[in-house]
Amino acid sequence: MTLAVVVIAACSVISVLAMLMVSLKLKNLAETTESFLKETQGTLRTLIEVDIKPLLRSAHAAVEEAEGIARGARAGVENVEHALGAIREVGDTVHNINSMVNGKLGASLMTFAAYRVGIRAGVEALMKMVSCKTKKEA
């Protein structure tokens, strides 16, 4: 019986020593982790203030600039649509006049009238485009 008690006591002492060693290792790990977090916190704060915030500001400015470019492109497309509408009207007018002249007058007069009307309508359309463009630039 004495031997059993000695073995149990020895096992208990070994278990307690093992728990103390694990406990000391956990304490060291906790201290190391705490010091790492303190050091990292300052670095992260600096990283956010110095690197990330200016980067976000630059990205925001780039997005605003892209929006401005898109607005300008949209206005340009509207001008092109207006110009295409004017050109379509000129084509219709030339066709109508050509048909009318072809039915009532000779071929030479028809050609002259068609050129004159086409040139006049083209000049008017260009003048409208130029005046719209100068108004928008001003």
Let me know if residue 10 belongs to a domain. no
For the segment 14-60, what is each residue's pLDDT rounded down to a tens digit? 988 999 999 999 999 999 989 888 888 877 777 777 778 888 888 88
Whether 96 is in a domain gets the answer yes
- Alpha helix positions (H), the chain: 2-47, 53-104, 107-137
Residue 60 lies in a domain: no
The whole model's pTM is what?
A: 0.38
Domain range spanning residue 106? 82-138
The Cα 52–Cα 47 span in angstroms is: 7
Domain count, the chain: 1
Q: How many CB atoms lie within 10 A of CB 57?
A: 10
87 located within any domain: yes
Express each pLDDT in 108-120 by its tens digit. Answer: 666 777 778 888 8
In a domain, 73, yes or no: no
**In this structure, are residues 98 and 52 in contact, taking their beta carbons and an 8 Å threshold?**
no
